[in-house]
């Protein structure tokens, strides 16, 4: 399992770096002066920050980082994060654009589990559920120019998993708890394989 996770981490890193390198190679050097910073609010990652830059005619490229803790519910705490490289195409239909990209997504859910008499010690154990996946993003959006520097828009789409894995982390090395963690890996991997919406309800951009 550790070898498999290590392999996926290498695939994830090389895939994202390759796409960012391709965007950079095709980027006219004069466009570095046209960098645009963006910030969005949406799901499944609550907050995203990014940089956009023009590429070829009717295309631009973007790199985004997302992070956000969700409000805690009872004994549950949820955190999420994402890294994504995207390309947008503007067909000339007003503010409409289409986009696609590659990304990495992480959900981390912390809670407590009480295994009762099966546990080596009495009382609940802290547990962390991890959902991770590489995905392709497909979608569309609109962007309006409020001024020469400021833009406002939104985008809607889906995240389609390419590779995924899940795990349950427990602090104890007890056999029973580790068997539970191993048995949960398949179920968590299945949940990581779900197609998720990718939405920026509000996306603000500012050109330097």
Is residue 168's pLDDT more than 60?
yes
- Nearest CA to 196 out of 151, 121, 133, 148 is that of 133
Exposure of 48 in the CB half-sphere (CA atoms within 13 A): 29
In the numeric block, the tokens 């009382």 are attached to 123
- The phi, psi pair for 70, rounded to 5°, reads -85, 160
Exposure of 84 in the CB half-sphere (CA atoms within 13 A): 30
Query: 26-30, 166-170, 174-178 — which one is most confidently predicted on average?
Result: 166-170
- Listed in order, strand segments (DSSP E) in 10-122 are 36-43, 47-54, 59-69, 77-89, 96-113
Measured torsion, CA atoms of residues 112, 116, 121, 124, in degrees rounded to the nearest 10: 20
User: What residue ranges do the domains of the chain occupy?
Assistant: 2-207
Is residue 183's pLDDT more than 90?
no
The yes or no reply on domain 2-207 and CATH 2.40.160 is yes
Mean per-residue pLDDT over the chain, rounded: 77
- Confidence band of 29 (pLDDT split at 50, 70, 90): very low
CB 105 within 8 A of CB 65: no
Is residue 22's pLDDT more than 70?
no
- Confidence band of 182 (pLDDT split at 50, 70, 90): low
User: From CA 39, how far away is CA 180, in angstroms rounded?
Assistant: 40
Query: 32-36, 75-79, 149-153, 160-164 — which one is most confidently predicted on average?
Result: 149-153
- Confidence band of 175 (pLDDT split at 50, 70, 90): very low
Query: What pLDDT was estimated at residue 118?
Result: 46
Instruction: Look up the pTM and report it.
Output: 0.72
């Amino acid at each position: 399992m550790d070898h498999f996770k290590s392999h996926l981490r290498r695939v994830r890193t090389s895939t994202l770096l390759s796409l960012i390198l391709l965007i950079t190679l095709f980027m006219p050097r004069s466009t570095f002066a046209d960098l645009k910073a963006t910030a969005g609010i949406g799901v499944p990652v609550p907050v995203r920050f990014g940089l956009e830059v023009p590429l070829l005619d009717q295309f631009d490229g973007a790199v985004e980082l997302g992070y956000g803790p969700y409000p805690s519910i009872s004994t549950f705490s949820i955190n999420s994060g994402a890294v994504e490289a995207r390309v947008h195409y503007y067909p000339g239909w007003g503010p409409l654009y289409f986009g696609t990209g590659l990304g990495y997504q992480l959900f981390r859910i912390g809670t407590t589990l009480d295994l009762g008499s099966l546990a080596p010690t009495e009382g609940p154990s802290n547990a962390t559920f991890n959902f991770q996946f590489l995905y392709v993003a497909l979608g569309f959006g609109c962007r309006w120019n409020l001024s020469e520097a400021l833009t406002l828009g939104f985008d809607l789409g889906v995240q389609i998993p390419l590779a995924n894995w899940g795990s349950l982390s427990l602090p104890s090395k007890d056999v029973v708890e580790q068997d539970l963690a191993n048995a949960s890996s398949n179920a968590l991997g299945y949940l990581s394989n779900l197609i998720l919406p990718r939405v920026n309800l509000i996306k603000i951009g500012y050109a330097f």
